[in-house]
Structure 1
Amino acid sequence: MSVPGRLTFIGGGHLAKAVISGIYSSNTSWKDACAISVTARRTEHMEQLKKSYPKAFVTTDNLHQAIWAAGSEPSTAHVVFICTRPKEVPQVCQEIASTLETLKGPARPTVVTMCPGISVAQLQSWLPTGTPIVRSMPNLPVTCREGATALFPSKEAVSRVELVASVLKEVSPAVSVLPEESLLDVAASISGSAPAYFYYLIESLVSAAETHGMCTETARNLVVQSCLGSGMLSRGTDRPIQVLRKEVCVPGGSTEKAIAHLMESRLPEIVQGAVDKSLKANREMRYVEGKQNS
């Protein structure tokens, strides 16, 4: 599998910084040979990024020659991440389109978006014909290198999507390439929203502990570590999640009674309803005439 020779991040916000920090702190074999560029809109932000990433090339100019020069070499795998707000994506695409047009075949970079609501078809209308495009849906834990990310490539990017995945795996141990673009909305409703679901459960467990006299700090420590441990245990085994759950439930024991109460309260239906609400909202979130509908 090819490795990235050049990575460009247009927009140096939270997502861009999460990926860049993950790469620089990783042990990946291609890190030292990879040229990383990042752009910012404001001069003060550019200076902050320079201090944070002294090895990277930082500029306020999305068309700076230093970003694109190496792209003329077919042997260099260049991935361009557009990390701006959704409403700024069309402008960025149109700004870099003429430069991309000059780069033919293998020399043309792969363009990756990291936002909902903007389809491959829309991106293709703003970028030169034949540009490899990958849509990505990362979630909040990429900021601590424990993210989950879904990808969908355009037909031109099918052969390059594993290259994009290799970059994102530095901050996202779980990277899934989806067979249909519509499933990105499902991913947004599951992995994208999942941190909020889990945080709400943590809140509820801590609150329950407090009602029985436990201090907030102790309850939070116990609940958060239980959440982490359960996730690591489920990630490290092929056993079905249902089996893991049943192993905690000693027949006739307190946990079995607690789970029975959740089942009687129709927790699965509540979760399904929450996911359906999120999915509906994601499907309605479309970029239309310069506005992000949500």
Structure 2
Amino acid sequence: MVHRVVVLVLDDVIPFDLGIPSRVFREALDEAGERLYEVVTCSIGGGPVRTNADYSVLVDLDEQALTTAGTVVVATQEPTAAMLREGALPGKVLNALRLIPDSARIVSLCTSAFVLAAAGLLDGLTATTHWHLADDFRRLFPHVSLDEDVLFVDNGRIVTSAGAAAGVDLCLHLVRKDHGSRVANAAARRCVVAPWREGGQAQFIEHPVPQHVDSSTARTREWAQNRLDEPLSLPDLAGHAAMSVRTFSRRFREETGMSPNQWLIQRRVDLARHLLEVSDLPVDRIANEVGFGSGTLLRKHLQAALGVTPTSYRRTFQVPV
């Protein structure tokens, strides 16, 4: 069944971000080459919408399209002065958001997290937005736990992403979640983007001191990626990088937005997902292949990352031989 994605466009939309959902979701294809998602765009009243550039966009559908959505994406727009001052939404926007079915997934791109927060949809949840506006977001929405160091946050029904290209990461994440890594990776190739980026916004935030390219941890990450089946320790990684453990840990987090251990777990989970999809290897064997050492540990980390067991994941996403 084709999943319907409805993109809501508000005034001062950022054109680059507006094009992301259509571009990514339309490249998600099944085995027969058929699209797995239908993407439509709507605006309040179905009229033209001005962008933050020097032109407007024509939109054919009005907000009633939201009632048909399996996923709603609120496209990025520049927060208005009133939004940054009061954290309030116009009544017509609130009324449009109320049309979204309870069963629909709701996604914000970049600063459209302000829209979801102002509507009360993020209360009690963790969210992200563009790091440059993190202080404003915290001031306006103290009931939301903001994490500006990640590319996206998936709360299940509500998903938020960081700035600009992080919207691509989020959409690919949703394709991966819905249809597995093979479909998501193929969509990424067709979009000519990386299927998965390391780290989070931390690597894009302005730092008070220049980053030392000659002392990067990139070579060590590549080295570790090729040895995930080995029991890699923090001293092992630091030793390969010819750094102290303290210096390596600090530079690793600066470059990736996560600790070395978090990075290793993420990479091992990614490899385990791939093997579950394309092979019939037993779960314990896959656990050894990716460096978890036991099926119990693989189950723990896969459950934490995806909320499913290895057997359930394989049943859903294994590619027929």
| TM above 0.5 | no
Relative to the length of structure 1, the TM-score reads: 0.43
The structure where helix makes up a greater share of residues is 1
Higher CA-based Rg: 1
Q: Which has the higher contact order (CA 8 A, sep 6+)?
A: 1
